[in-house]
Structure 1
Amino acid sequence: MSSPSAAPQGDALVELRDVTFGYGDRPVLANLSLAVPRGRVTALMGASGGGKTTVLRLIGGQQRAQAGQVLVGGQDVGAMDERQLYAARRRMGMLFQFGALFTDLTVFDNVAFPLREHTNLPEALIRDIVLMKLDAVGLRGARDLMPAQVSGGMARRVALARAIALDPELVMYDEPFAGLDPISMNTSARLIRQLNDALGITSIVVSHDVAETFSIADQVVILADGKVAVRGTPAEVRASADPLIRQFIGLDVEGPVRFHHPGPTVEQDFGVETA
């Protein structure tokens, strides 16, 4: 298992080098360094508020690192101007939490949206591409439905078809399993793995679901205190003796991450003695 400070190995599509970022007075990332290998599925995990979604925003350029570098394909996202950033984003796909479909557009038009927005392709070719992407997620027959007419799991698959519409190098998933039933969750996890391998893309999956995420990930990175707490294969991370990792994987209530938020003692608040 790689140590948190180990230098990136192999061919990385995405690298964060000594990245520091916070919201106002609240620090989120502190000298964070990690690498995302090309062609692999990297799971980014950790407690809520630990900076996982922030990492995705930094990669996509929605936020800029306050210190350090965020490199995608060797280019520093933080140093890009607007034109360069839009060009970089065309090589990225994003599956937002709960899908974020356009409610007033059909399934077909949701998937066609990035093609119409970012290319000058004729409608006949856009139609063929959209149907191929929908077929890849098993929803070619749902092309004419509205988002309100599909289930939560189906909506997530439509969003995945939209995320891969432009054949990106990198696809980022923000909580792709949240709110799904076990069947839909398993279907979504299998699709992420299959599309990653079939299309030769690189995937970053932010998730709290240990079982499904570990089943598809090549590399697991767990964040804590704004840094990498552990990095390795799912088997290596499961074997970690670190109390924080053991608590996270074992879903334990008590451990380094406390149930009670720090505050006054019971005696101070209520003026009573505890047993």
Structure 2
Amino acid sequence: MRDVRFAYGEREVLRGIDLTVRRGQVVAIMGGSGCGKTTLLRLIGGQIRASSGRVEVDGRDVGEMGADALYAMRRRMGMLFQFGALFTDMSVFDNVAFPLREHTDLPASLVRDLVLMKLQAVGLRGAAALMPAELSGGMARRVALARAVALDPMLVLYDEPFAGLDPISLGIIGQLIRRLNDALGASTIMVTHDVHESLEIVDYVYFVSEGRIVAQGTPDEIRASSDPFVHQFVHAEADGPVPFHYPAAPMASLLEGGGA
């Protein structure tokens, strides 16, 4: 991304974003709610177009692609949505098979083998016949991960992959993200609030605040950072550059009598 700006109507969300994700890297994008993190993923996937600047994927400007080129590019991407977003009326097997059936002409026997291989990679080959309603939250997220990498994408996008998971499931998903990225030789961009787990598996971190990159670095650099915003975020402090109190008149001025 090069000097990327984006606005919803008159509300500017991104104010000059510059970031780079290299082949083989797992990169986290962190920041407070509403700072524009998910908007970045939507720009990369071509769901929305930047107001200005360039969003390049594999050397091509996504904003200049026509419909056919954009769909072809998306077939080389995988997406893990927040909470998985499985098709509830399809079995685990059919959920993972869906992108293979939609985007390839592979025979059913090969689709079967590929689906079982992806489910084996996430530890759920034995759950192939189950329906999403029969899965725990962690299992559903793993099925969604298998679906996201079904086409061996060059780029995988994750929107809050750890949200709502118990500690065991969270650790499993984190390690799977790292292992699958390395096995595919892909690149991963992960929007997340989970500082501890993310810093264990990522290669680089970008912090977004008020539509700008305010800090960046390796996990070790982030842990050692003296930047006030990064320190507040990493250590979950209630007050700092991001204030606890929403702006308001002094409390004393609102109480009866007005005195302290």
Partner of 2:23: 38
CA RMSD, aligned part only? Answer: 1.3
Tell me whether 1:173 sits opposite 2:162 in the alignment: no
Alpha-carbon distance in 1 for matches of 2:248, 2:192:
29
Question: Which among 122, 126, 130 is matched to residue 115 of structure 2?
Answer: 130
Tell me whether 1:109 sits opposite 2:82 in the alignment: no
Partner of 2:216: 231
Which residue identity does 1:180 align to in structure 2? Answer: L
Aligned structure 1 segments of 4 or more residues deviating by more than 6 angstroms? none
Does structure 2 retain, via aligned residues, the 8 Å contact 1:244–1:257? Answer: yes
Give the TM-score of the pair, scaled to structure 2.
0.97
Partner of 2:189: 204
Alpha-carbon distance in 1 for matches of 2:248, 2:9:
22
SS at match of 1:121: coil
Shift in Å at residue 263 of structure 1?
Answer: 3.7
Partner of 1:53: 38
SS at match of 2:238: coil
Deviates more, 1:193-202 or 1:180-189: 193-202
SS at match of 1:262: coil
Partner of 1:79: 64
Change (3 A) 1:243 1:119: same
Question: Which among 176, 179, 184 is matched to residue 191 of structure 1?
Answer: 176
Partner of 1:182: 167
Gapped runs of 5+ residues in structure 2?
A: none
Question: Which among 245, 260, 263 is matched to residue 230 of structure 2?
Answer: 245
Partner of 2:126: 141
Which residue identity does 2:152 align to in structure 1? Answer: D
Partner of 1:12: none
Does structure 1 retain, via aligned residues, the 8 Å contact 2:24–2:182? Answer: yes
Change (3 A) 1:82 1:264: farther
Which residue identity does 1:201 align to in structure 2? Answer: A
SS at match of 2:19: strand
Alpha-carbon distance in 2 for matches of 1:156, 1:79:
33
Change (3 A) 1:225 1:145: same
Does structure 2 retain, via aligned residues, the 8 Å contact 1:90–1:166? Answer: yes
Alpha-carbon distance in 2 for matches of 1:85, 1:268:
57
Which residue identity does 2:15 align to in structure 1? Answer: A
CA deviation vs aligned residue, 1:152-182 (integer Å, no higher than 9, x gap)? 0000000000000011000011000000000
Does structure 2 retain, via aligned residues, the 8 Å contact 1:43–1:219? Answer: yes
Does structure 1 retain, via aligned residues, the 8 Å contact 2:50–2:63? Answer: yes
Give the TM-score of the pair, scaled to structure 1.
0.92
Does structure 2 retain, via aligned residues, the 8 Å contact 1:218–1:234? Answer: yes
Aligned residues: 260
Shift in Å at residue 267 of structure 1?
Answer: 4.8
Change (3 A) 1:261 1:143: same
Tell me whether 1:260 sits opposite 2:245 in the alignment: yes
Does structure 2 retain, via aligned residues, the 8 Å contact 1:134–1:140? Answer: yes
Deviates more, 1:173-182 or 1:25-34: 25-34
SS at match of 1:34: coil
Does structure 1 retain, via aligned residues, the 8 Å contact 2:253–2:259? Answer: no
Which residue identity does 2:49 align to in structure 1? Answer: R
SS at match of 1:37: coil
Does structure 2 retain, via aligned residues, the 8 Å contact 1:266–1:272? Answer: no
